[in-house]
Amino acid sequence: MPTEKALESLISDPFVPDNIRESVVDLLETRLDVLQSIYIAEFEQYERELAEGKHGPWTKFEDVGALHNRIVGKQRLQGCGVDQIESDVHDIRGLIQDYFDSFNPHRRWWQRGGRRPGKKPRHIDAG
């Protein structure tokens, strides 16, 4: 699976900071586990119901749409809905931004209100 290959590459990459690596790996592994378990359960149920004659093969778009909606609902229940994943990705972007900001020599004074230490604020005449 391409995602697993990318995950292996990320795990072994020495240039990715530990906290970012851990967050990304955790998110991807969780998502992969959830998706895999949901897909297996859904297709085993479809297979079982098909074998028991409860329905024929799905040939209509509506049938596949209903399966998709069930899968998406189960993803949400297990913390892997689209909004939940987007929120996690946003948090990871914050970690990446913090990492890049750590190289900014002006970061500390910038976060204290925009004045560099030792510099007097410019006085602006209202006149």
pLDDT at residue number 60: 86
Answering whether pTM is above 0.85, one says: no
CA distance 77 to 69: 12
Give the type of residue at 121: P
Determine contact, residues 57/47, Cβ cutoff 8 Å. no
Q: Which residue has the tokens 């479809």?
A: 46
pLDDT at residue number 4: 78
Over range 38-55, report the average pLDDT: 93
pLDDT at residue number 123: 42
Nearest to 26 by CA among 77, 104, 72, 89: 89
Q: Is the pLDDT of residue 45 over 90?
A: yes
Nearest to 35 by CA among 2, 4, 75, 5: 75
Which of residues 72 and 63 earns the better pLDDT score? Answer: 72
Q: Which residue has the tokens 């209100």?
A: 113
Which of residues 103 and 1 earns the better pLDDT score? Answer: 103
Over range 84-110, report the average pLDDT: 86
* Orientation angle between helical segments 18-51 and 82-101, nearest 10 degrees: 170
Q: What is the mean pLDDT of the chain?
A: 84
